[in-house]
Amino acid sequence: MGSTSRQLHVFFFPFMAPGHMIPMLDMAKLFTTRGVKATIITTPLNVPSVAKTIERTKTCGNSVVKIDIQTIEFSAAEACLPEGCETTDSKTTHEKMTTFLSSLKMLRQPLEQLLQNHDHPHCIVADMVFPWTIDAAAKFGIPVLVFNSSSVFSASAMASIGQYKPQVEVSSDSEPFVIPNFPGEIKLTRMKLPTFTDNKYVKAFFSDLMKEVGESEVKTYGVILNSFYELEPAYANHYTKVCGRKAWYIGPVSLCNKDAEDKANGDCNGS
């Protein structure tokens, strides 16, 4: 008997913030132009904005974009968040962001239920803030790729800081330190780190999260970055050879957009 091959199917699981969701949607569009079946996993209140973007983008390049949406439930009340809080924006404080990010683990069980009841995708592309996705998907034998929407410089710098922890060797938040074993003499202070805050609880939370993210990047099948090798060759080489990450550079993904509104949204939100 002849066998029929199943279309390659990828689940995309974006973090619920414009700077993360928009580039992952653009990535999903790009995948569909290569014949891949794409499905976005998100929470109910994020569906309208995702659907609007998909509908508005009738074509991506020369191919018709068709992206499915699957929802998983998120209880803002259970997470001690305001009713209807299922996304973040640039005005979100460190404290509120901590509460929101810590609640994301509540999505693990709904995701596993979706994987249990749905035809398994060939892989999942998950945002970096969902490090637990790797273990959740492993139950079903599904590989996970981690998406980092930042530059290779940023990803490589944070990986090195996480590994060597030069920030703990300085005596104050304003004292400069050099990122060890890193291309160029790049100096930072604790105050310039993205996780800097005076709140000890928040600081500890972000420190733990960055550790989990770093560990997941090593465990995962690979990391997808919204950049291209020729733009940051020294840092791309450092990221793979020194930090030990397997990486694909596919950006800038916003180039797939032909619609003026999509281009504007991407320019404003990191795509």
Question: CA-CA distance, 6 to 11, in Å (whole number)?
Answer: 15
Is 9 in the active site? no
Question: CA-CA distance, 168 to 185, in Å (whole number)?
Answer: 18
Q: Which of 26, 127, 238, 262 is catalytic?
A: 127
Q: 47: exposed, middle or buried (C-beta count within 10 Å: 0-12, 13-18, 19+)?
A: middle
Question: CA-CA distance, 228 to 236, in Å (whole number)?
Answer: 9
Question: CA-CA distance, 155 to 148, in Å (whole number)?
Answer: 8
Q: 5: exposed, middle or buried (C-beta count within 10 Å: 0-12, 13-18, 19+)?
A: exposed
Is 94 in the active site? no
Question: CA-CA distance, 253 to 226, in Å (whole number)?
Answer: 6
| Contact between 63 and 95 (Cβ < 8 Å) | no
Structure tokens at 199: 């709140």
**Rg, C-alpha atoms of the chain:** 19
Q: How many residues does the chain have?
A: 271
Active-site residues, by number, are 20, 127
